Amino acid sequence: MRISMVGIACAGALAAAGMAYAEQAHLTSRGYDHTNLRLMQMGMGMGPMGMGPGQQGPEPMPRHRAAMMKGIPEPYRSMTNPLPETQETLQSGARVYAGNCANCHGPRGEGNGPAAESLTPRPGNLAWLADRPMGQWDPFIYWTVAEGGAQFGSAMPAFKDSLSSKQIWAVTAYVQAHFPDAAK
């Protein structure tokens, strides 16, 4: 019996496609849609399995995973930052960050503030997040600051009752601008 190289290549391709289809069918049966599966397969450009530094916890990047699988919850889903992209906004954001975030996330957002050592999971690396598409998504950052991390097993407090909407938007702009020194 003669087996051609083309036949072997075709059989291998069919087997790989079958395995990919089976994996996709398994995940879609668990509630993941096809768009989210493709984003997971691509890793959103973030390295192995879509994870990055400082993303620890009960599972890697639980808030990111929730946003990708289920979307941003209402009322945050359609929000956009109403503040102008000005030095004044960044200075306001820097003040909010210094007073409310730096103790855990560190002065440059690397998740290494003085309180970070005692927290499990460790604070997220916001400097890393600001370089990712998710970090530039207004609803995601606002939701994170407003609701905190309790629903994801994190000690991050919810700031929706202690910061004004304007303050949350200012710190959102500051994080998205990669913690500019000029704003401090």
Same domain for 119 and 45: no
Looking at residue 131, its pLDDT comes to 87
Cβ pair 96, 175 in contact under 8 A: no
* Six-digit token string for 164: 């004004």
Omega cis (within 30) before 121: yes
**From CA 145, how far away is CA 156, in angstroms rounded?**
9
Within a domain: 61 = no
Domain of 27? Answer: 5-53
Within a domain: 159 = yes
Task: Report the number of distinct structural domains present in the chain.
Answer: 2
85-122 confidence digits (pLDDT tens) = 999 999 999 999 999 999 999 999 999 999 999 998 89
Same domain for 95 and 36: no
Which residues in the chain show pLDDT less than 70?
1-61, 182-184
Looking at residue 151, its pLDDT comes to 93
Within a domain: 62 = no
* Six-digit token string for 81: 């930052």
Within a domain: 139 = yes
Cβ pair 105, 113 in contact under 8 A: yes
CATH number, domain with residue 91: 1.10.760.10
Same domain for 91 and 178: yes
Looking at residue 129, its pLDDT comes to 87
Looking at residue 19, its pLDDT comes to 40
